[in-house]
Amino acid sequence: MVGFGREPAAHSELASQAVKRSLSGFMMVGVASALINILYLTGSFFMLQVYDRVIPSRSIPSLIALSILALMLYLFQGAFEVARSRMLVRVSGIFDEIMSSQVFQAMVKAPVKAKGGESNSMLRDFDQVRSFLASPGPSAFFDLPWLPFYIAICFMFHPVIGFIAVGGGIVLTFLTYLTNRGIQASAKQVYEHGAKRTGMADAAQRNAEVVEAMGMGKDLARLWLVSNENYRNQHRRNSDTANTYATISKIFRIALQSGVLAAGAVLVIEGQASGGIIIASSILTSRALAPVELAISHWRGFVQAQQSWKRLGRALSAFPQTDTPLALPAPTQSLTVEQVSSGPPGREQIIVQAVSFELKAGSALGVIGPSASGKSSLSRALTGIWPIYRGSVRLDGAALDQWDDVSRGRHIGYLPQDIELFAGTITDNIARFQENPPAETVIAAAKAAGVHDLILRLPNGYGTEIGQGGSVLSAGQRQRVGLARALYNDPFLVVLDEPNSNLDAEGEQALTDAIVGIRRRGGIAIVIAHRPSALAAVDQVLMMGEGKVMAFGPKEEVLPRILRREPPQGGQGGQAAEQRPVPLKIVSEQQEEGR
Residue 508 within a domain: yes
Please tell me the distance from the alpha carbon of residue 292 to that of residue 68, in angstroms, as a whole number: 31
Query: Residue 452 is part of which domain span?
Result: 418-490
Displacement of CA 566 from its chain's centroid (Å): 51
Last residue in a domain, options 261, 292, 317: 317
Residue 168 within a domain: yes
DSSP 400: G
Q: How confident is the model at residue 110 (pLDDT cuts 50, 70, 90)?
A: confident
Last residue in a domain, options 317, 343, 376: 317
Measured in degrees and rounded to the nearest 5, phi and psi for residue 570 equal 70, -175
Both 569 and 548 in a single domain? yes
pLDDT above 90 as % of the chain: 24
The letter for the amino acid at 105 is Q
pLDDT value of position 378: 92
Residue 228 within a domain: no
Whether 197 and 231 have beta carbons less than 8 Å apart is answered as: yes
3-state secondary structure of 48: helix
Please name the helix (run of DSSP H) or strand (run of DSSP E) that holds residue 343, with its range, or none. none
Please tell me the distance from the alpha carbon of residue 196 to that of residue 194, in angstroms, as a whole number: 5
The letter for the amino acid at 540 is Q
Long-range contacts of 566-575 (CB under 8 A, 24+ apart): 572/356, 572/357, 573/543, 573/548, 573/549
Closest among 378, 178, 157, 464 to 283, alpha carbons compared: 157
pLDDT value of position 124: 82
Residue 258 within a domain: yes
Rg of the chain, C-alpha, whole Å = 35
Number of structural domains (the chain) is: 3
pLDDT above 70 as % of the chain: 89
Please check the confidence at residue 275 and state whether its pLDDT lies above 50. Answer: yes
Both 290 and 338 in a single domain? no
Q: How many CA atoms lie within 13 A of 33 on its CB side?
A: 21
The mean-pLDDT minimum among 98-102, 276-280, 563-567 falls in 563-567
pLDDT value of position 580: 40
Both 581 and 515 in a single domain? yes
| Higher-scoring residue by pLDDT: 1, 439 | 439
Please tell me the distance from the alpha carbon of residue 382 to that of residue 80, in angstroms, as a whole number: 59
- Per-residue model confidence as pLDDT tens digits over 345-380: 877 788 999 999 999 999 999 999 888 888 999 999
Both 251 and 152 in a single domain? yes
Instruction: Give 78-142 as a 3 state SS string.
Output: HHHHHHHHHHHHHHHHHHHHHHHHHHHHHHHHHHHHCCCHHHHHHHHHHHHHHHHHCCCHHHHHH
Both 394 and 497 in a single domain? yes
Please check the confidence at residue 126 and state whether its pLDDT lies above 50. Answer: yes
Both 69 and 162 in a single domain? yes
Q: Which residues contact 42 (CB under 8 A, 6 or more apart)?
A: 70, 73, 74, 77
Rounded (10°) angle between helices 275-297 and 299-317? 30
Residue 233 within a domain: no
The mean-pLDDT minimum among 236-245, 326-335, 353-362, 413-422 falls in 236-245
- Per-residue model confidence as pLDDT tens digits over 214-231: 778 788 888 888 888 888
pLDDT value of position 401: 85
Both 299 and 394 in a single domain? no
The letter for the amino acid at 298 is H
Both 452 and 545 in a single domain? no
Long-range contacts of 449-453 (CB under 8 A, 24+ apart): 449/480, 449/481, 449/483, 449/484, 449/486, 449/487, 449/510, 449/514, 450/480, 450/506, 450/507, 450/509, 450/510, 450/511, 450/513, 450/514, 451/477, 451/480, 451/481, 451/483, 451/484, 451/510
Please check the confidence at residue 78 and state whether its pLDDT lies above 70. Answer: yes
Please check the confidence at residue 139 and state whether its pLDDT lies above 90. Answer: no
3-state secondary structure of 554: strand
Both 578 and 450 in a single domain? no
Calculate ∠ Cα 45-51-53, nearest 5°.
90
Both 407 and 428 in a single domain? no
Residue 483 within a domain: yes
Residue 217 within a domain: no
Measured in degrees and rounded to the nearest 5, phi and psi for residue 438 equal -65, 130
Please name the helix (run of DSSP H) or strand (run of DSSP E) that holds residue 547, with its range, or none. none
pLDDT value of position 487: 93
Please tell me the distance from the alpha carbon of residue 479 to that of residue 475, in angstroms, as a whole number: 6
87-91, 312-316, 513-517, range with greatest mean pLDDT: 513-517
CATH of the domain at 575: 3.40.50.300
Q: In the predicted model, what is the mean pLDDT of residues 161-184?
A: 81
Both 504 and 589 in a single domain? yes
Q: How many residues does the chain have?
A: 595
Closest among 363, 342, 359, 352 to 396, alpha carbons compared: 359
pTM for the full predicted model: 0.69
Both 127 and 142 in a single domain? yes
Residue 198 within a domain: no
Measured in degrees and rounded to the nearest 5, phi and psi for residue 340 equal -80, 130
Last residue in a domain, options 317, 346, 363: 317
